[in-house]
Amino acid sequence: MIEGMETPDTLNRQVQKMFSDIAPRYDLLNRLLSCGQDQYWRKRAVARLSPQAGERFLDVATGTADVALEIIRKVPQDAVHVVGMDFSEKMLELAQQKIDSQGKADSIQLESGSAESLPFEDNSFDGTTTAFGVRNFSDVGQSLREMYRVLKPGGRCVILEFSLPQNAIFNALYRFYFEVLLPRVGRLISKHPSAYTYLPKTVASFPVRKEFSSLMQQSGFMNVVYKELTFGIVILYTGMKQI
184 vs 55, higher pLDDT: 55
- In angstroms, rounded to a whole number, what is the distance separating the alpha carbons of residues 196 and 26? 11
Check if the beta carbon of residue 81 is closer than 8 Å to that of residue 87: no
* Res. 15: pLDDT tops 80: no
Q: How many CA atoms lie within 13 A of 130 on its CB side?
A: 24
* Res. 205: pLDDT tops 60: yes
Give the pLDDT band (50/70/90) at residue 201: confident
DSSP string of 50-100, one letter each residue? ---TT-EEEEET-TTTHHHHHHHHHSGGG-SEEEEEES-HHHHHHHHHHHH
Query: What percent of the chain shows pLDDT beyond 90?
Result: 68
Q: What is the model's pLDDT at position 198?
A: 77
Check if the beta carbon of residue 55 is closer than 8 Å to that of residue 80: yes
- In angstroms, rounded to a whole number, what is the distance separating the alpha carbons of residues 14 and 2? 8
Give the pLDDT band (50/70/90) at residue 1: very low
Residue spans per domain, the chain: 8-163+206-240
Q: What is the model's pLDDT at position 191?
A: 78
Give the pLDDT band (50/70/90) at residue 10: low
Average pLDDT over residues 115-133: 96
- In angstroms, rounded to a whole number, what is the distance separating the alpha carbons of residues 111 and 116? 14
Helix 89-101 crosses helix 26-33 at what angle (to 10 degrees)? 80
* Res. 3: pLDDT tops 60: no
* Res. 192: pLDDT tops 70: yes
Write the pLDDT tens digit of every residue in 79-120: 899 999 999 999 999 999 999 999 999 999 999 999 999 999
24 vs 228, higher pLDDT: 228
| CATH number for the domain whose boundaries are 8-163+206-240 | 3.40.50.150
* Res. 11: pLDDT tops 70: no
